[in-house]
Structure 1
Amino acid sequence: MSGSGACEGLPGAVRVVAGVSGSPGSLTALRRAAREAARRGGELWPVIAWELPGGEFHAARSSVPPPLRERCEQLAREELLDVLDTMFGAAGPGVPLHALIARGRPGQALVQIADRDTDVLVLGAGHRGRLHRLLSPSVSHYCLTHATCPVLAVPPSPLEAHLATVCRRNSWHLRLDAGQLTEREKPRGRVRDA
């Protein structure tokens, strides 16, 4: 796994850069990025961005102890390794892999890394409510407006909305009905016994 300064790879190879956060949307995007890299004969570059608590502006104004900085980077590294292991296992993605940890805001880090005309930037474009959009800027929107390479915004899996509903009900301590989750469309017509 490389640091954010090592972005070389094979000369002339197509780099498919994928933003990784561990969210369901980023996992869907990572899988799509691996398929894109294989289809284009390129390399897969999963990137996780990390910031110090309070953000970079706060860190610049105060001295941040080196152990805190090292721990934040270590947590990002562990998260990225966990995501890669979950998605691809020991077999790997089937294409050359260059995993990166980048310090900084996710959108800015991804745009800086995916800086070649031949790069492709792949992001999850998850559903976001109004409150979330107000409190947290969209990484995909930032990348779509600032990237110099093509950007592929992968829509969320249809199951993601169901998962969000289950998580919301669970966080509110509401009764979960497994029948609602597994209910299939009823057959349209008569079913005859043989």
Structure 2
Amino acid sequence: MKLNHCGKQKESQQTNSTQIDQQNLIQTLAEEENQLTEKHLGQWLTIGELAQRSGVSVPAIRFKDLIWSTRTQGNQRRYQRAMLRRVAIVKIAQQVGISLQQVKDAFAILPRQKVATKSDWKDMSQAWQTQLDQKIMDLLKLRQQLDKCIGCGCLSLQQCPLRNPNDQLGQASAGAHFQEVISNLMNIQFSQD
């Protein structure tokens, strides 16, 4: 009978020990999950944090499909830290006259499932190289000829190498197009007096 009682007691202790081990394991896993979640959330930014760190307003963060977010269980937007670089690229592109559509097209070659590498960014920037080179040439030409252009006073802009190179407006039709518009406006004003 004692044997029976000891056997049951040992069995009971083993059951309690197993339950405690399971509870400890569950608690340990829960703690690890919390740590992983905290670490994971540390790599995600709220829209306010992204705006503050990028120097862009919250409404401007919602660029049309240029950056993306994920939603928390509470339906709040979270952005990967890598979106900071995309926002910076958008700002730089706008400063040099690259349209948002062109930025969107360039971003389309970047991976969405992982953070873009240096090589990915280099490939993307090649798409803008020719366009930027042309803009630089146009700006240099403008700088060299601006004083002549402003001082010439031609309303037809027939000779203007910046506004009407090779008289492209004259090929469309004869006459001083801008002169006609001004004359028409003046005639309307004089007619009313």
The TM-score, its normalising length taken from structure 2, stands at 0.22
Higher share of residues assigned helix = 2
The TM-score, its normalising length taken from structure 1, stands at 0.22
Higher share of residues assigned strand = 1
More contact order relative to length (CA 8 Å, sep ≥ 6): 1
